[in-house]
Amino acid sequence: MLIHLKTLGCRLNEAELETWAQAFQNAGHHISCEVKNADVVVINSCAVTSDAARKSRQLIRRIHRDKPDAKLVVSGCYATLNQEEAEQLLGVDLVVSNKDKDQLVEKTITELNLQTMPAMSTEPGENSLFSRGRQRAFVKVQDGCRYRCTFCIVTVARGEESSRSVQAVIDEINTLHNQGINEVILTGVHLGGYGGDIDSNLATLITEILAHTQIPRLRLGSLEPWDLPENFFELFQNPRLMPHLHLPLQSGSDTVLRRMARRCKTAEFAKIVEQARAQIPHFNLTTDIIVGFPGETEEEWQESFDFIQSIGFGHIHIFSYSPREGTKAATLPNPVLNEVKRQRSQQLHELAHRMKQDFIAAQLGQEFPILWEGQREETPAGEFLRFGYTPNYLRVACVVAEADDLENKIQPAVLEKVEENYILARV
């Protein structure tokens, strides 16, 4: 059978997709890059916002419309929070809730009566990531979250915290590296809470991975700023741990942060950033910001804007607040008018663009080892561009010959010029 895998939402969803891809291949099936060729389509849905839930429904309907004869399996947060609705969507053959995700491949094969042929399973060198055009892998190390930020529905959808063993994570990374993967990203719903249920912690996990694997690049997914232990940034002395962190701030106003039930005040966040930049060369800090949270006054917005500007982020994911049924924030008074949210969002997008350009400009002239990817484009001038990422997560491109062999290699390049969507580099 040809299996097509599709995801919306977070990196954890991506990591789960990679795990499913491996399991389907081990059972004798093949991963299809195109939905038009698929016998089975598996969708890992999202419901972090009402808009994400809507997009999940739209994706399910579009997949069925484009490939009506394919079996359709739906999992993820939308399917978990709205299971009855998902089951009734036209074309859906199977819904697997988050609590049963570990059995998704087995359930799909059993309940949809897919023929398994282990003797024809994929050879170790043919990894699902490459068939999907990827040279890095997301590795899920934990699920669930103990905290209850007032705007977040994901803690309801994902349930209690559960960590994988250190050895299981190491074994998966070594398997991926043996298959040719050169970078892994550790992910989880509450990544910084890793190990709380198994008498371990994230710093120990990172230390053990660096000691017992040879993976050239280790990257961390989104981390809550209050989770970082005292000597956390010393780990980055190992050049295999990439100098980039995504620390969600959500607001630069302490009064708004209290209404969000966030556990890190702005002064604490600023101290964390100061420590990171003092210890990690070329450190790139990215974040999430919610604009127009219920009750956000003009004074609070200006306070938030000024704090964000004072920190200086390499990139910001900006979300205009929308109420999410089932969260405490949806019951809060004094909603912000949509027009005000649009104005504040535009103002923040402009600031975020300036800060990103400032950060990039500071990197020009520097040489970085680049993990070159499969994507290649031909320019109007007839040149070929190969794309990749710096350790601190900047997208770069270099001019290559038509028959270049940079794909999935780590080779240095000097950053020379800022283009619209990338930095032009010289190998």
Residue 128: inside a domain? no
Query: Residue 127 falls within a domain, yes or no?
Result: no
Give the up-direction half-sphere exposure of residue 303: CA atoms within 13 A in the CB hemisphere: 16
Do 131 and 31 meet the contact criterion of CB atoms below 8 Å apart? Answer: yes
Closest CA to 344 of 296, 391, 411, 396: 296
The Cα 141–Cα 352 span in angstroms is: 31
Please indicate, yes or no, if residue 345 is contained in any of the structural domains: yes
Ordered mean pLDDT values, 10 residues apiece, the chain (427 residues): 89 89 87 89 92 92 91 95 92 94 91 58 46 78 92 84 96 94 94 95 97 97 90 96 97 98 96 96 96 98 98 95 90 96 96 96 97 85 90 95 87 94 93
pLDDT at residue 130, as a whole number:
53
Domain contains 145 = yes
* pLDDT value at residue 128: 57
Question: Do 356 and 258 share a domain, yes or no?
Answer: yes
Domain boundary among 242, 270, 305: 242
Residue bearing tokens 């739906």: 74
* Statement to judge: residues 271 and 350 lie in one domain: yes
pLDDT at 86: 93
> Is 126 within a domain?
no
**Same structural domain, 269 and 353:** yes
Q: Which residue's structure tokens are 């007839």? A: 382
Q: State whether 113 and 175 are in the same domain.
A: no
The structure tokens 């209404």 sit at 259
CA distances from 220 to 11, 82, 261, 367, 378 (A): 10, 30, 24, 22, 32
State residue 382's pLDDT score. 83
Residue 289 and residue 348 in contact, taking contact as beta carbons nearer than 8 Å:
yes
CATH number, domain with residue 84: 3.40.50.12160
Instruction: Assess if residue 206 is contained within a domain.
Output: yes
The CATH number covering residue 260 comes to 3.30.750.200
Total count of residues recorded for the chain = 427
Question: Considering only CA atoms, which of 29, 108, 116 is closest in space to residue 74?
Answer: 108
Task: Using DSSP, state whether 165 is helix, strand or coil.
Answer: coil
CA distance 218 to 33: 26
SS3 41: strand
Same domain as 7, residue 93 = yes
321 is a domain residue? yes
Shared-domain flag, residues 340 and 394:
no
Among 335, 363, 391, residue at a domain's last position: 363
Same domain? 229 vs 307: no
Number of domains into which the chain is organized: 4
Examine the fold and report which residue of 309, 330, 363 is the final residue of a domain before the chain moves on: 363
If asked whether residues 139 and 186 sit together in one domain, one would say: yes
Q: Is residue 129 part of a domain?
A: no
Structural domain boundaries, residue 403 = 367-426
d(Cα 73, Cα 40) in Å, to the nearest integer? 8
User: CATH number, domain at 237?
Assistant: 3.30.750.210
Measure the CA–CA gap between 20 and 31, rounded to whole angstroms. Answer: 10
Give the residue among 138, 179, 164 at the shortest CA–CA distance from 14: 138
354 plus 387 within the same structural domain: no
Paired with 188 in beta bridges are: 142
